[in-house]
Chain A
Amino acid sequence: MSQPVHEPTIDRPPVTTDAAPQLQVGGFRIPKEVFRTYTMVFALLAIWLFFHYKTGGVFLSARNFSNLMLQTAVTGVLAVGMLMVIVAGQIDLSVGSLVGLAGGIAAIVQGWYGYGLGVSLASAVLVGLMVGALQGWLVAYANIPAFIATLGGLLAWRGVILGLSEGKTIPIGLQSFKTIGQGFVARPVGIVIAVVAVAAVIWLTLRRNRGRRRYGLPAASAGNLALRIIAPTALIVAFIMTLNSWAGVPIPVIILLVVALSGVFLTHNTTFGRYLYAIGGNPDAARLSGINLRSHILAAFCLMGALAGVASIIYTARVASASPDAGNLLELDAIAACVIGGTSLMGGRGTVFGACLGALIMASLDNGMSLRNVEPYAQYIVKGAVLVAAVGFDMLGRRRR
Chain B
Amino acid sequence: MESIGTLPLLEMREITKTFPGVRALDGVTFALKAGEIHALVGENGAGKSTLMKVLGGVYPYPEYGGEIRIGGEPQRFTGIRQAEAAGIAVVYQELSLVQDLTVGENIFLGREPQRFGIVRWEELYRRAHQLLEDLHVAIDPRTPVRQLGIGQQQLVEIAKALSQNARILVLDEPTAALTDAEVETLSAILHQLRTRGVGMIYISHKLEEVFRLSDHITVLRDGRTVGTQPTVALDQSRVIAQMVGREVGEIFPQAVHAPGEVVFEVREMSVEDANVAGKMLVDGVSFAVRRGEVLGIAGLMGAGRSDLLTAIFGAHAGRVSGEIFIEGKRVRITSPAEAIKFGIGYVTEDRKRFGLVLEQTILHNMTLAALRQVSGSFVTDADAEAAAGEKSARELRIKARNVFTIAGTLSGGNQQKVVLAKWLLTKPRVLFLDEPTRGIDIGAKQEIYAQIIKLAHDGLAIVLVSSEMPEVLGLSDRVIVLHEGHLMGEFTRTQATPESVMSCATGHKLEKIKVKR
Interface with B: A62-70, A221-229, A267-275, which one? A267-275
Picked from B46, B336, B379, the residue with its CB within 8 Å of the CB of A270 is: B379
Picked from A12, A18, A288, the residue with its CB within 8 Å of the CB of B336 is: A288
Determine whether the beta carbon of B364 is less than 8 Å from that of A217: no
Interface with A: B403-411, B460-468, B500-508, which one? B403-411
A390 CB to nearest B CB, Å: 19
Q: Mark B399-417, 1 if CB is under 8 A from A, else 0.
A: 1110011100111111000
Tell me the residues in window 170-198 of chain A with beta carbons closer than 8 Å to chain B beta carbons. Answer: none
Answer whether residue B331 sits at the interface, using C-beta atoms and an 8 A cutoff.
no
- Please judge, given known A-B contacts A6-B439, A11-B444, A271-B371, whether A211 and B337 are in contact too, CB under 8 Å: no
Q: Which of B44, B384, B411, B422 has the most CB of A within 10 A?
A: B411
Determine whether the beta carbon of A6 is less than 8 Å from that of B45: yes
Contacts of A288 in B (CB 8 A): 313, 315, 336, 346, 348, 354-355
Interface with B: A35-43, A153-161, A230-238, A276-284, which one? A276-284
Residue of A nearest to B351 (CB): A285
Tell me the residues in window 129-177 of chain A with beta carbons closer than 8 Å to chain B beta carbons. Answer: none
Determine whether the beta carbon of A214 is less than 8 Å from that of B383: yes
Determine whether the beta carbon of A282 is less than 8 Å from that of B22: no
Answer whether residue B356 sits at the interface, using C-beta atoms and an 8 A cutoff.
yes
A322 CB to nearest B CB, Å: 36
Contacts of A2 in B (CB 8 A): 222
Determine whether the beta carbon of B413 is less than 8 Å from that of A270: no
Determine whether the beta carbon of B411 is less than 8 Å from that of A290: no
Residue of A nearest to B368 (CB): A289
Answer whether residue A9 sits at the interface, using C-beta atoms and an 8 A cutoff.
yes
Contacts of B372 in A (CB 8 A): 271
Picked from A1, A211, A216, A282, the residue with its CB within 8 Å of the CB of B26 is: A1
Answer whether residue A385 sits at the interface, using C-beta atoms and an 8 A cutoff.
no
Tell me the residues in window 278-327 of chain A with beta carbons closer than 8 Å to chain B beta carbons. Answer: 278, 281-282, 284-292
A373 CB to nearest B CB, Å: 43
By size class, the interface of chain B is 35 or more
**How many contacts A-B (CB < 8 Å)?**
181
Determine whether the beta carbon of A281 is less than 8 Å from that of B441: no
A217 CB to nearest B CB, Å: 6
Contacts of A348 in B (CB 8 A): 357, 359-360
- Please judge, given known A-B contacts A5-B47, A282-B358, A288-B348, whether A18 and B401 are in contact too, CB under 8 Å: yes
Q: Mark B363-390, 1 if CB is under 8 A from A, else 0.
A: 0100011011001111110111011001
How far apart sit A200 and B223, CA to CA, in the bound complex (Å)? 59
29 CB < 8 A contacts A-B: A1-B26, A5-B26, A5-B46, A7-B24, A7-B45, A8-B50, A9-B439, A11-B411, A12-B21, A17-B409, A18-B401, A19-B409, A20-B404, A20-B409, A214-B383, A217-B390, A269-B380, A270-B378, A271-B371, A271-B372, A272-B378, A277-B360, A278-B360, A284-B354, A285-B355, A285-B368, A288-B315, A288-B348, A290-B336
